[in-house]
Amino acid sequence: MPTSIRVSGRLVLPLAVCAVVLPGAFAWGQATGPRVIIDSSPPGATVYIDGKERGVQGYAGPDFKIRLSRGPHRVLLEMEGYKPVEQVINVTQAQKFTFTLERAPARLEIKTPGTNETARGGEVFIDGAPAGTVPVPVEVPSGRHLVEVRKPGYRVFSETVELKAGDVRTLWVTLQSEIKAGSLIVAADAAAEVFVDGQPRGQAPVLVDNLPEGDHVVEVRRLEPGSPPWRQTVRVTAGQQSRVLAQTQSGAPQTGSLLVLTAVPDAEVSVDGQPRGRANQEIGGLKPGQHIVEVRAKGHSPVTKVIDVEAGKQRVERIDLQQTAESRGMGILRVIMVNPVEGAQYFINGRKYDEAVILGDRGVEIPSGPAIVVVRREGYGEVRKDVMVRPGTVETVTIDLRNVGKLLVGSEPRGAEVLINNAIVGRTPYTAEELAAGSYLVEVRLPDYQPFVQQVTVRGGEQATLHAQLVRLEARPPTVDDATRRRGQSSFSAVTIDPGGFTADVGVGYPYFVNLRLTVGAARRSMFGLDVGAELRTTFYETDVGVNLRAQVLKTGPIALGGSMFIGGGGGPRGRNSFVFEVGVPLTLLAGNLVRLTVRPYLQVYSDQLCPTYERIRELVAKNDLAAIVTLVQPEHIGDRCTGGGDENAGIPRRYRNAIAEAAGYYIDRMGNPRIDGMPTYDPSLIDFQEDGNPVLSRFSGARFMLQAVVEIAITQMTNIWLLIEGAPFQKDRQQYTDKFNRIFPHNDFPLYGRAGFTIKF
């Protein structure tokens, strides 16, 4: 019968009040505390606050908000496939706590059952890599893995297992024997007991079955007391019957014997300098004491040992022979640097080697045959040498890596005089070997032809080529007064400047706030002309410098057609740098010497490094430069993609993960101090570390078709004013011009650019 409980009316009201008031009081205490946001990376971890007994408090993320009383609280985060994180937080005000969870490795226990321990001591390989011997626990990444157990005399155990992060699984391993058996008949010249490998087998003659294939020690003991035992090593072949006759003798032996065991069947044995036959056979008649034993085999390095032999006993000695480099088809390659260069990289057949290894006295062992040795360093170029490595030999390669290059100068017609930095060096075709890296002024001149002058940059390890198309001097055109000529000069049109004249431009605009440009007339022949110039562009966040080339191809009436090219690059703070190449076709409409209206379609190829590179971050970590890392991981501005795209101090949560911090292994310890000894978790394949499909720590490269329009108006014979408008409509953003990497730009690349300025003509 169920028991009923009657509650007095006097107790009902107090109990009801307690049931309502006490939870309310606790909730009120929580509700009045600061609001705390708990987030996790990755988001979605289960959150427990002040112990699991209070139950799940929610799931970590930007939307998980809870009010907690001021003071310490213990927070526990758990998530399948990740290690749990437990930490005490001190709540003082409304704030956000973010916890990074480490992925839990899978654990594989490789064991052998107690009823069949054949696998004990077997070598374990995980995906072909050694992992210890059975039994052994192994931590592996999640996914599929090939497990192999190998043990001499047994078949290889192989099994594929698939594990998830955090899984713990036991793999029971048993091995099957591969031993093959034969038989042995042992006879003796007298009544005697037979022992095989120390085990009694009965009186001779006796047939011993099921012996494993290989060498066995046979011992025959005569029944007479004091008789010495007879011993011999006998080889048993699988499926065959071997025979042995024991010739026993009485009396104390005066000599001993030696059995040299080796895996090389045709190895020859010498004792005290005298040949004694092959290995794996007993050598008798040895006097007691020390003997020098030498074992030799073709294709193997000889081994010499000093061993002791006792009277009446057999000494068994195991000797392992190592194959020579020649028999293995290997050779040794040594690299000698005439002038060691710090930071040089070394490659043999495409494989990179450490400097200490490849320059060491021992050299590098490589397969025989043709080998390609490459030594390179930025700024020095590379030196490549081919060498034939013969088996068993040591080949030496001497390399002289210097910061020099080569300059080839040609001309049409040939035979022109060549001057380098105003010094006559020869005639075309001319080759300057081992020219120190740097910039050179090259002049090519021939009587009755206009001189050809050009600045050439020679880079270490590279070859620079200059070909001068010389123009024959003709009758000078009618002289144009200097004022008229100067008034018609322009910097952006398809009409080039007369040799000896030049223009200087100053402009302001967007995206480059300041633009400085100098253009010099280089050559002119009839309607054809050539200008060269230098240009500086800056956004005050990054500054580029480069070289302009402009060619006049056609000028007829009010129309001129030409070609233009710009090559440049630059950099800015936090390791920013860029490279730009532009090539276009300007078409100009001329209005006398007063107005130039130019339309220039051009192709722009760019490559921008907008964040510090992963390699640079790891260099700072290797130097333990914590101050530099702390500076880099702080956002330069809201939306900075290098550091996650947010400003937590301003109350704006990060939209992405901090690529610099995760590349450096940067974190804040429990004492609130920054550290960089964590493991790097930066993965360029994750979208959190990408912008527009490109990893943020890598270069942003691309090409855009641009359309430019310029109007130039001559105010005086010495000055022009100009307005330039250009754009890249319906094309991919150039991230350098967005606030994701430069705070001064809009969120997306605005495809319309422009600038205005004035020109001074000389």
Q: Is a pLDDT exceeding 90 seen at residue 694?
A: yes
pLDDT, residue 246, reads 84
Q: What residue segments make up the domains of the chain, in order of their start?
A: 30-100, 106-172, 330-393, 404-469, 482-610+702-761, 614-697
Q: Is a pLDDT exceeding 90 seen at residue 703?
A: yes
Does 30-100 match 106-172 in CATH topology?
yes
Residue 417 confidence class, pLDDT cut points 50, 70, 90? very high
Look at the domain 30-100 and name its fold: Immunoglobulin-like (2.60.40)
pLDDT, residue 397, reads 85
pLDDT, residue 647, reads 54
Answer whether 497's CB lies under 8 Å from 533's CB: no
pLDDT, residue 638, reads 81
Mean pLDDT of 341-360: 83
The pair of structure tokens assigned to 475 is 């009758």
> Closest by alpha carbon to 749, among 608, 655, 650?
608
Beta-carbon contacts of residue 544 (< 8 Å; ≥ 6 apart): 536, 537, 538, 568, 569, 570, 578, 580
Write down the architecture of domain 482-610+702-761 according to CATH: Beta Barrel (2.40)
Instruction: Quote helix, strand, coil % in the chain, to nearest 5.
Output: 10, 50, 40
Q: Is a pLDDT exceeding 70 seen at residue 406?
A: yes
Percentage of the chain exceeding pLDDT 70: 93
Mean pLDDT of 507-519: 93
pLDDT, residue 704, reads 92
Residue 476 confidence class, pLDDT cut points 50, 70, 90? low
Alpha-carbon dihedral 643, 649, 652, 656, rounded to 10 degrees: 20
The pair of structure tokens assigned to 312 is 């009446």
DSSP code, position 59: E
pLDDT, residue 276, reads 87
Mean pLDDT of 104-131: 86
Beta-carbon contacts of residue 230 (< 8 Å; ≥ 6 apart): 188, 192, 219, 220, 221, 246, 247, 248, 249
Least-confidence region, from 13-27, 225-239, 405-419, 490-504: 13-27
pLDDT, residue 21, reads 37
Answer whether 123's CB lies under 8 Å from 130's CB: yes
The answer to whether the predicted template modeling score (pTM) of the entire model surpasses 0.75 is no
Mean pLDDT over the full length of the chain? 84
Beta-carbon contacts of residue 154 (< 8 Å; ≥ 6 apart): 118, 119, 122, 175, 176, 177, 178
In CATH, the number for domain 404-469 is 2.60.40.1120
Task: Give per-residue pLDDT as tens, 263-314.
Answer: 888 889 999 888 988 888 888 888 888 888 999 988 888 988 888 888 888 8
- How far lies 305's CA from each of 273, 298, 379, 462, in Å? 12, 18, 55, 57
Give the β-pairing of 394-399 and 330-337.
parallel
Q: Is a pLDDT exceeding 60 seen at residue 106?
A: yes
pLDDT, residue 62, reads 82
Q: Is a pLDDT exceeding 50 seen at residue 383?
A: yes
Task: Give per-residue pLDDT as tens, 25-40.
Answer: 344 344 468 888 999 9
* Residue 122 to residue 513: CA distance in whole angstroms: 71
Helices 626-633 & 614-622 angle (0-180, nearest 10): 150
Residue 453 confidence class, pLDDT cut points 50, 70, 90? very high
Task: Give per-residue pLDDT as tens, 626-658.
Answer: 888 998 988 888 888 898 876 555 566 677 888
* Residue 325 to residue 368: CA distance in whole angstroms: 9
Task: Give per-residue pLDDT as tens, 561-601.
Answer: 999 999 999 998 888 899 999 999 999 998 888 899 999 99
Q: Which helix (H) or strand (E) holds 679?
A: none
pLDDT, residue 651, reads 61
**Phi-psi region for residue 109, left (φ > 0), alpha (ψ -120 to 50) or beta?**
beta
Task: Give per-residue pLDDT as tens, 718-747.
Answer: 899 999 999 988 888 898 888 888 888 888
Q: Is a pLDDT exceeding 50 seen at residue 10?
A: no
pLDDT, residue 384, reads 83
pLDDT, residue 27, reads 42
Answer whether 686's CB lies under 8 Å from 693's CB: no
Mean pLDDT of 129-137: 90
Residue 455 one-letter amino acid: Q
E-strand ranges in 61-105 read 65-67, 71-78, 85-91, 95-100
* Residue 515 to residue 506: CA distance in whole angstroms: 6
Q: Which residues pair with 187 in a beta bridge?
A: 245
pLDDT, residue 578, reads 94
Read off φ and ψ for residue 711, nearest 5 degrees.
-120, 130
Q: Is a pLDDT exceeding 70 seen at residue 4?
A: no
* Residue 762 to residue 498: CA distance in whole angstroms: 11
* Residue 57 to residue 74: CA distance in whole angstroms: 12
Q: Is a pLDDT exceeding 50 seen at residue 486?
A: yes
In CATH, the number for domain 106-172 is 2.60.40.1120
Peptide bond into 451 cis (omega under 30): no
| Between residues 483 and 686, the one the model is more confident about | 686
- Which burial class, exposed, middle or buried, applies to 52 when counting CB atoms under 10 A from its CB (0-12, 13-18, 19+)? exposed
DSSP code, position 652: B
Answer whether 273's CB lies under 8 Å from 304's CB: no
Mean pLDDT of 611-621: 92
